Amino acid sequence: MTSFKICLVAIFLTVFYLLASVLFSNIFSFYQANGSLIKLEKKIIGSKLIGQNFIGPSYFHPRPSINNYKNDISGNSNFPYYSSALKENITVNHTHTKNINHNEPDLNLITESASGLDPHITYNAALTQIERISQFSTIPKEELINILNKTAKRRILGIFGEKIVNVLELNLKINTEGSE
């Protein structure tokens, strides 16, 4: 009978902990606890945490994804650095990115992230796309750079990591602020 009581207490504590965690997170960080969803006119258009593929020439493009941005599959190719398949993949991405942007692409735009769902690109990767976006969207380069600077996130403590931008947020800013 004692083991039955211990089991009931364990179940109660587990359920209590689960409910308390959900309640606490929804009260104190509702936005994050519910997927950091981005809405436009009350319609969910994506998550701040999961990358999306933008292929239009007037938008910033994200990093390549081995799984085509399917959010139910996460991961990369796991090819070793000496793999011919990895080299071929990078070569194809390099050629494609160079052809659409007409300049040497940033490494960030030709290699996949570890998750395959990274919503960010480096600031420099975004800069290499400015010319193309300006040409196809008729937004002046200076205005695009201002929008990019507004959305860029600084390095952690000013020294760790690179300056990054969220591609979805950046493209939304282009739609709302571009050539007003």
Give the CA-trace dihedral at 54, 60, 64, 70, to 10 degrees.
-30
Per-residue pLDDT, 178: 61
Per-residue pLDDT, 42: 85
For 113, how many CA atoms within 13 A lie in the half-sphere containing its CB?
Answer: 16
* Tens digit of each residue's pLDDT (9 = 90 or more) over 18-39: 999 999 888 888 878 777 888 8
Compute the C-alpha angle 161/72/148, nearest 5°. 35
Ranges of residues in the chain with a pLDDT under 70 are 178-180
Q: How far apart are CA 126 and CA 62, in angstroms?
A: 9
Per-residue pLDDT, 107: 87
